[in-house]
Structure 1
Amino acid sequence: MARETCVLNTRRALCSSIGINAILFTVLLVLQCVQYDIKKDDDNSMQSVTEQFSATDQSKNYYSDLSVSNDTICVDCGYLGKNISAEETLYNRISISKNGSQMCCLEDKSLASLVRKVLKIGDGEKPIDKDYFSWWRQRPNSAHLYLKDWYRTQLHWTATEETGSAFSKLSIVDQNKLVIKKTANYFVYAAVVFDFRTVIKVPQVYYNITSFLPVLPHLQPFVLMGKYGGSPFSEKRHTGYLCGISKFYKGHQISVSVNDHSFIDNTPYANFFGIFRL
């Protein structure tokens, strides 16, 4: 019974947070994309949906993998396959872009405002009503941070920025580590963007999420590890994303590390680190 309750709580927590995490992760991939328009699709099953978007072209801002209106966000979701329906996803509807990309659309005014602010498009310079994110910011035993800077071997994170999406209900030590205050199962995640356009060959880089419990220094740490580069076919830009579920005890310190900071792209909102209790 306890196991079923844990699974149920995990599913609910992931569903409530998957929306904003998916949008933030998508934003990292589209900051330098070109603009595009929406057109009608020849497929009758998609035509009515496409017409709804075409009717309001003047109020939208478009990129090759993303479109944003006042209350709707559409992201490229071709990886889901041509036969996927909106009912099988967490999105509200699916459309087709002018260049033939399959777009999954989510109706959420607060997330649309956040994306417009991050991308600085349209009315993105206007203040965001932070009450929109009360469900996100008021979760106990959780945090969502953005990269501020780094010093020597440490990445420094911040919970203060203008969109209202960053926050921390946990203590932050040395601007680097989140300190767990209640023993429980947690979902932890981090994204780091690398830019290798200044070098001819992409070197290998390593990025990790680790834990440390000071009262039990010999306890085996929780570790998520990622590696990228070293191949002549490696792309010059890469987003390293890590996530996992683990039981953390009171006092556990959770941190993110990168072996070479010289290739980190410190564009605002590109790099983030977060955790929430399940």
Structure 2
Amino acid sequence: MAAENEYTDMLNLGDTEDRSKNSDKTWKRAFITTLVLNFLALVTLLGLHVYSQVRPSDPGPDPDSLSDDLCVPCQEETALFDYKVRTDTNKFLCCYNNTDIQRAVKIILKEERRYNTEFDDGKNYIPLNGVDEDTDQLTWWKSRPSAAHLHLDITENNNIEWKANPDFVTSFKSDDIKVNGTNIEVSERGMYFIYSTISVEFSKMDEGQSSKGQTFYHNIQKGNINLPNTGQHIQMMRKYGGIPAQETDRLYTSFLCGALFLKKGDTLASEFVEPPLIYKFPYANYFGIFKL
């Protein structure tokens, strides 16, 4: 009986060793297969990368047909473009098909070039009548209730005022929003999104104070016409500063935005502490609101 048990144990040990060897072979085959697949995937990715660099690019449509499309220099962050166009200098432009937004952007860029070449002061700037041709294209933008998008108007006394000027392609004001020059007033309670952009030319700072840093504030304030004695309270603010001698001709853009719960009669104002420093092209400075 003992001999028979020993013989059985030897058979079981042999089976275990065989299963262990088979398992090792299976793991080795799986490991080798994984290495081969990873290598093939790497080679494929490298091949696709090389092909993307050397393959001829789609030249896109004839440049003469792009008058209604918007094209900008392609960059790494450029996304969702409709097609690319190769320029005479072998660079690429990323283009977007003709839409309301692209038409508005083209108008704004054209007007800025005109502003910088024909006008010395924003007070004398008048947009071309041709802008009116496309104002009706943005009906989805201008038909929103409890909303407004205003542009800057610098008064003779260098005070900041905001206007809904129909001559500007993006400017509008719904009937339930009141504007008195400096303030936006709402007539319905609710949650609103408020935003403001001010573009500043710090190079206009007084050179006589070249050794002294200066600080400037852009803010959005809230008040209420039924509480005149409480005054305006700052809701959002950004601070800028610099030394005149170190500033350049670059523009600095301050953008404020946020959501506020407003009630009937609440007013909002967007201010910059030093209006003479503002880049007075109206499209570069705007104040807006819409009900969420």
Q: TM-score w.r.t. structure 1 length? A: 0.63
Q: Is the 8 A contact 2:70 2:96 kept in 1?
A: yes
Q: How does 1:61-210 map to 2 (within 5 A)?
A: 69-74=67-72, 78=76, 80=77, 86=79, 91-93=80-82, 105-120=95-110, 126=130, 127-150=132-155, 152=157, 154-169=159-174, 170-173=177-180, 175-199=181-205, 200=207, 201=210, 203-210=214-221
Deviation at 1:255, TM superposition (A): 0.6
Query: Relative to 1, partners in 2 of residues 1:241 and 1:171: Cα closer, same or farther, differing over 3 Å?
Result: same
Structure showing greater Rg: 2
SS of residue matched to 1:160: coil
What is the aligned partner in structure 1 of residue 44 from structure 2? none
CA distance in 2: counterparts of 1:101 and 1:261, whole angstroms: 40
Q: Is the 8 A contact 2:196 2:256 kept in 1?
A: yes
What is the aligned partner in structure 2 of residue 214 from structure 1? 225
SS of residue matched to 1:204: strand
Deviation at 1:46, TM superposition (A): 10
Q: Is the 8 A contact 1:96 1:102 kept in 2?
A: yes
Q: Is the 8 A contact 1:77 1:102 kept in 2?
A: no
Q: How does 1:17-28 map to 2 (within 5 A)?
A: none
Query: Relative to 1, partners in 2 of residues 1:265 and 1:178: Cα closer, same or farther, differing over 3 Å?
Result: same
Number of residue pairs the alignment of both structures matches: 217
CA distance in 1: counterparts of 2:64 and 2:276, whole angstroms: 41
What is the aligned partner in structure 2 of residue 230 from structure 1? 242
Query: Relative to 1, partners in 2 of residues 1:153 and 1:268: Cα closer, same or farther, differing over 3 Å?
Result: closer
SS of residue matched to 2:155: strand
Deviation at 1:195, TM superposition (A): 1.4
What is the aligned partner in structure 2 of residue 243 from structure 1? 257
Query: Relative to 1, partners in 2 of residues 1:103 and 1:179: Cα closer, same or farther, differing over 3 Å?
Result: farther
SS of residue matched to 1:262: helix
SS of residue matched to 1:139: coil
CA distance in 1: counterparts of 2:204 and 2:230, whole angstroms: 41
- The one-letter code of the counterpart of 1:149 is I
Deviation at 1:193, TM superposition (A): 1.1
What is the aligned partner in structure 2 of residue 264 from structure 1? 278
What is the aligned partner in structure 1 of residue 30 from structure 2? none
Deviation at 1:115, TM superposition (A): 2.3
CA distance in 2: counterparts of 1:125 and 1:163, whole angstroms: 10
Q: Is the 8 A contact 1:49 1:93 kept in 2?
A: no
CA distance in 2: counterparts of 1:219 and 1:95, whole angstroms: 53
Q: Is the 8 A contact 2:158 2:276 kept in 1?
A: no
Unaligned runs of 5+ in 2: 1-49, 114-127
SS of residue matched to 2:261: strand
Q: Is the 8 A contact 1:188 1:276 kept in 2?
A: yes
Q: Is the 8 A contact 1:153 1:257 kept in 2?
A: no
- The one-letter code of the counterpart of 1:196 is F
- The one-letter code of the counterpart of 1:115 is V
CA distance in 1: counterparts of 2:238 and 2:86, whole angstroms: 33
- The one-letter code of the counterpart of 2:106 is R
Two-structure CA RMSD over aligned residues (Å): 3.8
> Which structure: greater helix fraction?
2
| CA deviations over 1:215-258 (Å, ceiling 9, x no partner) | 35659945110111225765542111111111111111011111
Which is worse superposed, 223-232 or 211-220? 211-220
Q: Is the 8 A contact 2:219 2:234 kept in 1?
A: no
Identity, % of aligned pairs? 24
Q: Is the 8 A contact 1:185 1:247 kept in 2?
A: yes
| CA deviations over 1:69-103 (Å, ceiling 9, x no partner) | 4133547664x4xxx8x4xxxx3447598699997
CA distance in 1: counterparts of 2:133 and 2:220, whole angstroms: 31
Q: Is the 8 A contact 1:117 1:163 kept in 2?
A: no
Which is worse superposed, 157-166 or 237-246? 157-166
SS of residue matched to 1:116: helix
What is the aligned partner in structure 2 of residue 255 from structure 1? 269
